[in-house]
Amino acid sequence: MAEDEKRDKTELQMMKELVDELYNFRDCYFETHSVEEAGRKQSDVAREIEKTLKKLEEKEDNFQDTAEFLLQKGRCLNVAPDFSAVAEVCLSRAVKLEPGLVDGWNTLGEQYWKKGDLIGAKNCFTGALQQSKNKVSLRNLSMVLRQLPAADSDAHSKQVLESVDMARQAVQLDVTDGTSWYILGNAYVSLFFTCGQNPQLSQQALSAYAQSEKVERAASCYPELHFNRSTLFQYEEMFGSALGGYSRAAALDPGWEEPPEREKQLLEYLKKVTELIQNKGKVKARRLRTMLSNLSTSALGPCSSPQFRSPTGRVGSLEPRTLTSLTHGLNSGVAAMGKVVFSLASEGRMAFTFGMVDSEEVCIVVMVYNTADSWGVLIGDTVVIPEPQVKRNSITHKDESFDFRSIRVDSPLLLIVNGKKQNVQSQIAASVSYKPQSE
């Protein structure tokens, strides 16, 4: 009897190793294949699943009522991106037979998730954590919490904060796990866009992604990592890095439509912006002179008051400056002033973009974040930007190059339009879609 038990144990261990190899084939595909072969990954993985499943099913008669066998069969089917009813049955039976089977609960949770049953998935991951604290349950819970519907924005913020905490705990359990670092990066991206775009959170997200690639070579081949990081890069106006990341995500997963779409949109946006700056929004010379003739310091409005409090907290009136005299970075104590000559609300926009021309007929592009859909400026409006944050953009991507200066404004509330401050309704927190799941 002991001999039989020993043999069964050895066979089950071999099955587990077979399935582990299958996961390794999927997750480390690009360590043995070139990026040019990315289009074959899905069919290659499907073929490996078939081969592994066949080997498992050869032993099914002896082990069909064994929790460990049911777990490995469920895990094997779980490698596929879609829900499998057979996997759900196997895994449900496995955890009934052996309620302490943490891997069983985790894999069952992933199946519920693929099926769209987020509550069921959450219960499985929570159940697994009650058996034992483990990184897989923690990071899966982190992802599910960000996707669960919330009653209101406060409840959603609470879920996102909890999700960051779960991802942090997963990293603490194993600091050498690239997937846990990557999921922590995603949690920070979500927190960044949920809780008022604190630059510190954006840095924490980028650090987590970098750490993910550092500790695990396969992580640099996660298309979602490049896509999500590019979403952040684009918001931070690191356009060259964003384009590079979208392009890399598209190469790693040719079947995923969003990365090439985002890359194309961003390129079109940059083309449009540079063209409009060069031709000053196509405003005719005579009309432009007429517009600029009534540009006067009275448009400074509240900025001319000695009590004016700048976005940086400085108190005192601001001195109007021409666009050419502005330095890169923050221009303290001064204001940029001009007439709007074009505006742009591009597809998938993150910023309301407009161009303004100053008294010297110099044109610059202004990118305003967190604007309500109803907010905008019209051609001919006078805009004053207190303490402008100026940036030189020099971008080369594939065969295209762009070079222009821009001003970043984090909220429409910071602008003075036609001598007036903007009302609170003009601002809304930016929401940006990123790929939340690592599966």
DSSP-derived letter for residue 33 is: S
Section 252-270 average pLDDT = 94
* Cα 338 to Cα 96, 230, 303, 414, distances in angstroms: 70, 32, 14, 15
Mean pLDDT is highest, among 4-13, 26-35, 54-63, for 26-35
Are 202 and 241 in contact by the 8 Å Cβ rule? The answer is no
Backbone angles phi, psi at 260, to 5 degrees: -65, -30
Say if residue 27's pLDDT is above 90: no
Model confidence at 435, pLDDT cuts 50, 70, 90, reads low
The answer to whether residues 301 and 217 belong to one domain is no
Say whether both 262 and 296 belong to one domain: no
Tens of pLDDT, residues 211-229? 999 998 888 899 999 999 9
Taking only the tens place, the pLDDT of each residue in 91-118 is 999 999 999 999 999 999 999 999 999 9
Domain carrying residue 416: 281-426
* Shared domain check, 242 and 147: yes
State pLDDT tens for residues 43-97.
999 999 999 988 888 887 777 778 999 999 999 999 999 999 999 999 999 999 9
The model's pLDDT over 199-213, given as tens digits with 9 standing for 90+, comes to: 889 999 999 999 999
Q: Which of 214, 247, 269 is the last residue of a domain?
A: 269
Of 358, 197, 206, 335, the C-alpha closest to 280 is: 358
- Rounded mean pLDDT, 291-306: 91
Output the pLDDT for position 231.
92
- What per-residue confidence (pLDDT) applies to 438? 42
**At 289, is the pLDDT very low, low, confident or very high (cuts 50, 70, 90)?**
very high
Residue 371 lies in a domain: yes
User: Residue-wise over 180-211: b if at least 16 C-beta within 10 A, else e?
Assistant: bbbbbbbbbbbbbbbeebeeebbebbbebbeb
* CATH number of the domain to which 372 belongs: 2.40.50.550
Average pLDDT over residues 308-325: 93
Q: Which of 247, 269, 291 is the last residue of a domain?
A: 269
The answer on pLDDT for 433 being more than 60 is: no
User: What whole-number percentage of the chain has pLDDT above 70?
Assistant: 96
